[in-house]
């Protein structure tokens, strides 16, 4: 009997049952293909690309100037309100200009308003904290504390020599504030705390690096050179001519900004030269250590030595006529 093609004869041996295939080992969850994130959410979950912007630059200095004008206007308005209320017994601008309370009050308001705005805005532009963007680096300053105090002592010695060779005027505006021991103590505290901190932020924190960056940028545009790669911490590298130009220009502006305190007569040339030289030292400290905290420390120590000399020369600010 012939079997049909789709039938199996009874005498044909039955094939062995098929063995089940061993399953493949399961892939770990991390190796499984993940669904691609939408572009809208990817920009929030992925790290931002590295920035190659050199900060701070001249544009940031312009923003700081606008903030300073706002701070100055605020200080003037508050001072005007104080005069209208006869605060400290003063009601005229002439008396307020030489009164220690109004001088320090308006200057303090100017500093606080200006740098409070800077502290809030610049981190948004730089994508890093305010002090990190200015290369604060307190650890580097602390590591070189001995050298920094030596630099401050050298500036103090330069001030003594300058006072002998190029004495300043005896009726400078700042001298008129030293009328009472209380005023002298207020200037002492202000001169070794607030003034060095805020002045260094403005001049060595913003202006010095901005001018150096602008100099290198102009050279790059004129010669077609590529920009220098940023340092590993994201800060710019400057050429030697850029640093020299920035140091000189920053120091001249620094000395001119203090002309209101030292006067504008021919006898003020000595204090102007001294302030320019001291500023050059502060710029050098800032550039060599790459630390804004270092220049602040030298500035504060220098002012402390000057006020200490005045303290000793007037028997503890008791005989201010000896100044």
Sign of CA dihedral 92, 98, 100, 104: positive
CA nearest 187: which of 308, 59, 57, 321?
Answer: 308
Cα 297 to its chain centre, rounded Å, is 13
CA nearest 226: which of 213, 216, 211, 212?
Answer: 216
Show pLDDT as tens, one digit a residue, over the chain (323 residues).
Answer: 444 444 444 455 555 555 555 554 555 555 555 555 555 555 555 554 445 789 999 999 999 999 999 999 999 999 999 999 888 888 888 888 778 888 899 999 999 999 999 999 999 999 999 999 999 999 999 999 999 999 999 999 999 999 899 887 777 777 767 777 788 899 999 999 999 999 999 999 999 999 999 999 999 999 999 998 998 878 899 999 999 999 999 999 999 998 877 766 667 788 999 999 999 999 999 999 999 999 999 999 999 999 999 999 888 887 766 66
Give the 3-state secondary structure of 119-145.
HHHHHHHHCCCHHHHCCCCHHHHHHCH
Domain extent listing, the chain: 55-132, 134-225+236-323
pTM above 0.75, yes or no: yes
CB 293, CB 138: distance < 8 Å: yes
């Amino acid at each position: 009997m012939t079997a049909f093609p789709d039938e199996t004869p009874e005498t044909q041996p039955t094939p062995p049952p098929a063995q089940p295939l061993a399953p493949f080992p399961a892939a770990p969850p991390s190796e499984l293909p993940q669904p691609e994130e939408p572009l809208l959410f990817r920009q929030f979950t992925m790290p931002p690309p590295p920035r190659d912007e050199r900060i701070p630059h001249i544009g940031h200095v312009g923003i700081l100037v606008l903030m300073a004008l706002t701070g100055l206007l605020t200080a003037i308005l508050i001072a005007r309100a104080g005069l209208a209320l006869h605060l400290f017994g003063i009601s005229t601008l002439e008396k307020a200009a030489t009164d220690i309370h109004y001088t320090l009050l308006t200057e303090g308001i100017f500093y606080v308003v200006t740098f409070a705005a800077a502290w809030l805005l610049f981190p948004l532009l730089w994508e890093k904290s305010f002090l990190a963007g200015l290369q604060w680096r307190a650890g580097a300053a602390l590591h070189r504390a001995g050298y920094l105090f030596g630099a401050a002592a050298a500036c103090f010695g330069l001030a003594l020599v300058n006072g002998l060779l190029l004495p300043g005027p005896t009726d400078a505006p700042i001298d008129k504030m030293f009328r009472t021991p209380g005023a002298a103590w207020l200037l002492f505290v202000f001169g070794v705390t607030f003034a060095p901190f805020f002045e260094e932020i403005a001049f060595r924190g913003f202006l010095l690096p901005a001018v150096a960056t602008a100099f290198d940028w102009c050279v790059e545009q004129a010669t077609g050179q590529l920009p220098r790669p940023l340092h590993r911490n994201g800060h710019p590298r400057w050429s030697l001519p850029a640093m020299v130009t920035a140091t000189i220009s920053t120091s001249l502006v620094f000395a001119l900004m203090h002309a209101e305190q030292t006067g504008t007569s021919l006898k003020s040339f000595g204090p102007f030269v001294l302030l320019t030289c001291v500023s050059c030292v502060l710029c050098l400290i800032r550039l060599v250590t790459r630390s804004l905290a270092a220049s602040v420390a030298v500035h504060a120590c220098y002012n402390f030595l000057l006020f200490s000399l005045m303290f000793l020369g007037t028997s503890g600010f008791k005989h201010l006529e000896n100044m």
